[in-house]
Structure 1
Amino acid sequence: MREWSLWAESRPPGPPGRGPRDWVLTGVLMVAVLAEGLLRPDVPARVATVVMTLALIPALLWRRERPLLMVVIVFGVSWVVPLFTGHQPELISGAFVLLLAYSLVRWGSGREIVAGVALILGKIGISGLTGAIPLSEVIAGFLLMCTLFALAAAMRFRGRLRARELDQAKLLERERLARDLHDTVAHHVSAMAIRAQAGIAVSRTSPDAAVDALRVIEAEAVRALSEMRTMVRALRGGDPADLAPSPAVADLAELAGPSPEGPRVDVEFTGDLRDLPPTLGTAIYRLAQESVTNARRHARHATRIGVRVHGGDAIVRLRVSDDGDGGPVRSGGFGLAGMRERAALLGGTCDAGPDVTGGWTVTATLPRSLT
Structure 2
Amino acid sequence: MVTVRRSLWREPRPADAPPIGRIDWLLVGVFVAAAVAEALARPGVDWRPLVTVLALALVPALLWRRVRPLGAVLVGWGVAGLLTVLQLTMHAEELGLNSMMAVLVLLYSLVRWGSGREMVAGTAFVTVVVALGMYAASAGWADIVGGSALLLLVVALAAVFRYRAELWHRQQREIRNEERAGLARELHDTVAHHVSAIAVQAQAGGVIAGIEPEKAVEVLAAIESEASRTLEEMRSMVQVLREEEAVAYAPQPGLADLPALARADATPTVEVSLDGALTGLARPVDAALYRLAQESLTNAVRHARNATRVQIDVRREGHAVRLRVSDDGQTRSGPAPEPGFGLLGMVERAQLLGGSLSAGPAPEGGWVVEAVVPAEAPA
TM-score of the aligned structures, taking structure 1 as reference length = 0.59
- Structure 2 residue 231 is matched with structure 1 residue 197: no
How is 1:1-371 mapped onto 2 (pairs within 5 angstroms)? 3-4=3-4, 5-84=7-86, 86-232=92-238, 247=253
Taking the aligned partners of 2:70 and 2:93, their CA distance within structure 1 comes to: 25
Question: Structure 1: which 5+ residue stretches go unaligned?
Answer: 237-245, 252-257, 262-277, 279-371
- How many angstroms does 1:250 deviate by? 6.1
For 1:16, what is the secondary structure of its paired residue? coil
TM-score of the aligned structures, taking structure 2 as reference length = 0.58
Task: Kindly provide the amino acid, as one letter, of the partner of residue 138 in structure 1.
Answer: I
Taking the aligned partners of 1:170 and 1:39, their CA distance within structure 2 comes to: 57
Taking the aligned partners of 1:196 and 1:106, their CA distance within structure 2 comes to: 62
Taking the aligned partners of 2:47 and 2:138, their CA distance within structure 1 comes to: 15
Taking the aligned partners of 1:26 and 1:131, their CA distance within structure 2 comes to: 28
What is the CA deviation profile of residues 238-287 of structure 1, one whole-angstrom value per residue up to 9, with x for unaligned ones?
A: xxxxxxxx525966xxxxxx99x9xxxxxxxxxxxxxxxx9xxxxxxxxx
Taking the aligned partners of 1:111 and 1:232, their CA distance within structure 2 comes to: 38
Taking the aligned partners of 2:211 and 2:233, their CA distance within structure 1 comes to: 34
Question: Structure 2: which 5+ residue stretches go unaligned?
Answer: 243-251, 258-278, 283-293, 295-379
Moved over 4 A (4+): 229-236, 248-251
> Greater relative contact order (Cα 8 A, min sep 6): structure 1 or 2?
1
- How many angstroms does 1:119 deviate by? 1.1
Against the structure 1 CA distance between its residues 140 and 35, is the aligned structure 2 distance closer, same or farther, given a 3 Å change threshold?
same
Taking the aligned partners of 1:6 and 1:220, their CA distance within structure 2 comes to: 55
Task: Kindly provide the amino acid, as one letter, of the partner of residue 166 in structure 1.
Answer: Q
Task: Kindly provide the amino acid, as one letter, of the partner of residue 163 in structure 1.
Answer: H
Taking the aligned partners of 1:30 and 1:107, their CA distance within structure 2 comes to: 24
Taking the aligned partners of 2:145 and 2:52, their CA distance within structure 1 comes to: 26
2:301 matched residue in structure 1 = none
Aligned residues: 245
Against the structure 1 CA distance between its residues 129 and 28, is the aligned structure 2 distance closer, same or farther, given a 3 Å change threshold?
closer
2:334 matched residue in structure 1 = none
> Alpha carbon RMSD of aligned pairs, Å?
2.9
Percent sequence identity over aligned pairs:
44
- Would the aligned equivalents of 1:185 and 1:228 in 2 still touch at CA under 8 Å? yes
Against the structure 1 CA distance between its residues 99 and 33, is the aligned structure 2 distance closer, same or farther, given a 3 Å change threshold?
same
Taking the aligned partners of 1:133 and 1:88, their CA distance within structure 2 comes to: 13
Higher-Rg structure is 2
Task: Kindly provide the amino acid, as one letter, of the partner of residue 16 in structure 2.
Answer: G
Taking the aligned partners of 1:171 and 1:68, their CA distance within structure 2 comes to: 34
- Would the aligned equivalents of 1:178 and 1:234 in 2 still touch at CA under 8 Å? no
Against the structure 1 CA distance between its residues 130 and 97, is the aligned structure 2 distance closer, same or farther, given a 3 Å change threshold?
closer
Taking the aligned partners of 1:216 and 1:116, their CA distance within structure 2 comes to: 69
Taking the aligned partners of 2:93 and 2:48, their CA distance within structure 1 comes to: 10
For 2:16, what is the secondary structure of its paired residue? coil
1:293 matched residue in structure 2 = none
